[in-house]
Structure formats: C-alpha cells, structure tokens
Amino acid sequence: MPEMTKYAPGTPSWVDLGTTDIAKAATFYGGLFGWTCVDQGEEAGHYTMCEIDGKPVAAIGPAMNPGPPMWTTYFTVDDADKTAALISEAGGSVIVSPMDVLDVGRMAVAFDPSGAAFSIWQPRAHIGAHIVNEPNTLCWNELNTRNVDAALDFYERVFGHGTNRMPEYNELTLDGRSIAGCLAMPAEVPAEVPSHWLVYFAVDDCDAAVSRAVELGATVAMPALDMEGVGRFAVLVDNQGAVFAVIKMSMAS
C-alpha cells in the first residue's frame, strides 16, 4: 500500500487514544502492534505519535473526557469552522470548539445525534495516518449506535456521505467507495454504554493478536469470529479500559 499523502474531505483519516497514562498505553500498543511511540514534548501536551518505519499511524494523548480511555475517530474536513457550524445545524453537539493544534492542523470535537463522539481535522502539516490498511494500522471505523437512521442522516448532511442501508449492516460511502460502517447496538448492551465509533486495526493473525493482547493485560469483549467475505475479527478492551478491534482481512475484502 502506497503511503497516504492526503484524504478526501469526509474520510476517517486519523485515530488517537485519550488516556490518563500515556506511558502505560504506549507500552501496551507498542507490544501489540510493534509501534514506536514518540513523545512530542511538553509543548504538545506529551501527545505521543505511534509510528511504523518512522511514519505516523495513530497517536496516544492525554484524556479530554471523564471516564475510561477511549479511541477517537477523526474525519478530514476542508474547513473546521464551517463543519462545526454544520454539525450543530444537523442536530449534533460541538463540545470542543474549533482550535488550532500548533502548526499541524485545526480540530474540533463533537457528538452526533445518537451520542457518539468523533473529531474533525482540517490538515496542515499533519494529514492523518500515513499508512492504512496494512498489518498493525487503521483499516476500518464503525459506528455502533442506538439510532441508526438519525445517525446516518446526520453524517450524510455533515460530510456528504452516501449510505448503503441494509437490515444488518450499513455503510457510509464517498464517491461510491465504502469508507466506514454503521450498525445498531444490540438491546442487551447495557444502557450506560453510549453510542460510539469502534476502531479496527488490521493484523496478520487475529487469534495470535488476541492472545498477545491478553498477555499484555487486555480482556476479550467479543471472541474472534469469522465474517464471510470480510475476515476474522475480535473486539478487545485494553489494560486501561479502551475498546478497539483487530481484524485479519480476507483476500476478497
């Protein structure tokens, strides 16, 4: 996969983990994915870039929200201020107003109408993940929501996404290309679990990745299972409580 140099507006382009213990998280994910974790220094709030071969693929930073650590999905936009206004007009809530992040970009944090948190990113020096869809990198972002129709309508309006709406699974598209997924949260999920964006990382071997994650202190939220035409995946909770998924993609996906 060639190195990414830009993302079309509306594309999930970056993920970061907000946590109260950056060093502990760096040890966990470095041990799981082989990432080199580079502290950007005090000026950047010790935001830590996670790299493969010197190229950023994700990050770990200080928690911006109460509660357990969580992975955040960022969508590239042309104009963070205009998109933030559109988020509010479309029924979402902007909880961190657009702000500059040094010279690397401009961002905002929001909730969609179903309560799922996400961020927007107007790139400058930092375009997002330089490598995706390769082992140990971001490969999919999936909205788990309690109100599928309201959520899909929102993302269509804010980012210009198309939608493939199906009974069991929905896809968000740009120019006919699938760029994210969406599904209804099962009724048995506890009410205190909010709608959320789940981040998937590609791996060479799903079962081996699960075993390694458990060795590093993770717990298994959903054991590995096969999905026809997609691959074998599992949902994990890291050693500080952040939820993420790993997947061995099938050759057909």
Same domain, 95 and 147: no
Same domain, 181 and 154: yes
% of the chain beyond a pLDDT of 70: 98
Asked, for residue 182, whether it belongs to a domain, the answer is: yes
- H, E, C per residue of 132-185: CCCCCCEEEEEEEECCHHHHHHHHHHHHCCEEECCCCCEEEEECCEEEEEEEEC
**Residue 127 has what pLDDT?**
98
Same domain, 170 and 80: no
The range of the structural domain enclosing residue 184 comes to 138-249
* pLDDT, mean over the chain: 95
Identify the domain boundary among 99, 123, 147: 123
Asked, for residue 190, whether it belongs to a domain, the answer is: yes
Same domain, 160 and 117: no
Same domain, 86 and 150: no
Mean pLDDT of all residues in 49-74: 93
- pTM (two decimals): 0.96
Mean pLDDT of all residues in 85-104: 97
Q: How many other C-beta atoms are found inside a 10 Å radius of the C-beta of residue 157?
A: 15
% of the chain beyond a pLDDT of 90: 87
At 190 the three-state DSSP class reads: coil
Give the pLDDT confidence of 174-195 residue by residue, as tens digits: 999 999 999 999 888 888 889 9
Asked, for residue 2, whether it belongs to a domain, the answer is: no
Is residue 252 scored above 60 in pLDDT? no
Same domain, 16 and 94: yes
Asked, for residue 65, whether it belongs to a domain, the answer is: yes
Give the pLDDT confidence of 121-168 residue by residue, as tens digits: 999 999 999 999 999 999 999 999 999 999 999 999 999 999 999 988
